[in-house]
């Protein structure tokens, strides 16, 4: 099925551990983003990419790294997990200058750092 696929759906980490959240889309979208959503809050932009090899920071980039080696994949790396990074993480993609399509979001990864 076409769309944005995020793995894993759930993850528990210990403080200081590192991990990579995976995001893949099969719609040939140029633009991809990572957001985090804390309980009862809106989404905050972590990093985004406008195409393979091009990434930039959003509102809350500290503690996260991204890379975009292919159009399809946009992994998010947590360098040294902290309890403050407990959140739901959403990956999203959109077509190039898609004026009427907006973003397609994945189903999210629920991360708990203990």
- Length of the chain in residues, anyone? 114
CB closer to other proteins, 2 vs 99: 99
Binding residues for other proteins restricted to 75-104, rule: CB under 8 A? 90, 92, 94, 97, 99-104
Q: How far is the CB of 48 from other proteins (least distance, A)?
A: 5
Give the contacts of 50 (CB within 8 A, at least 6 positions apart): 30, 31, 56
Binding residues for other proteins restricted to 56-75, rule: CB under 8 A? 58-59
Binding residues for other proteins restricted to 29-48, rule: CB under 8 A? 31, 33, 35, 41-45, 48
Beta bridge partners of 11: 111
Q: How far is the CB of 41 from other proteins (least distance, A)?
A: 6
CB closer to other proteins, 94 vs 111: 94
21 near other proteins, judged by CB under 8 A: no
Q: Which two tokens stand for residue 38?
A: 């804390």
Q: Footprint of other proteins on this chain (CB under 8 A)?
A: 4, 31, 33, 35, 41-45, 48-50, 58-59, 90, 92, 94, 97, 99-108
């Amino acid at each position: 099925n076409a769309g944005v696929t995020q793995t894993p759906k759930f993850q528990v980490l210990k403080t200081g551990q590192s991990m990579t959240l995976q995001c893949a889309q099969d719609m040939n979208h140029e633009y991809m983003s990572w957001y985090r959503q804390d309980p009862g809050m809106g989404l905050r932009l972590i990093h985004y990419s406008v195409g393979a090899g091009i990434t930039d920071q959003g509102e809350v980039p500290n503690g996260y790294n991204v890379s975009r080696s292919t159009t399809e994949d946009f992994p998010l790396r947590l360098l040294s997990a902290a309890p403050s990074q407990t959140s739901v993480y959403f990956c999203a993609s959109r077509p190039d200058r898609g004026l009427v399509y907006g973003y397609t979001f994945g189903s999210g990864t629920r991360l708990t750092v203990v």
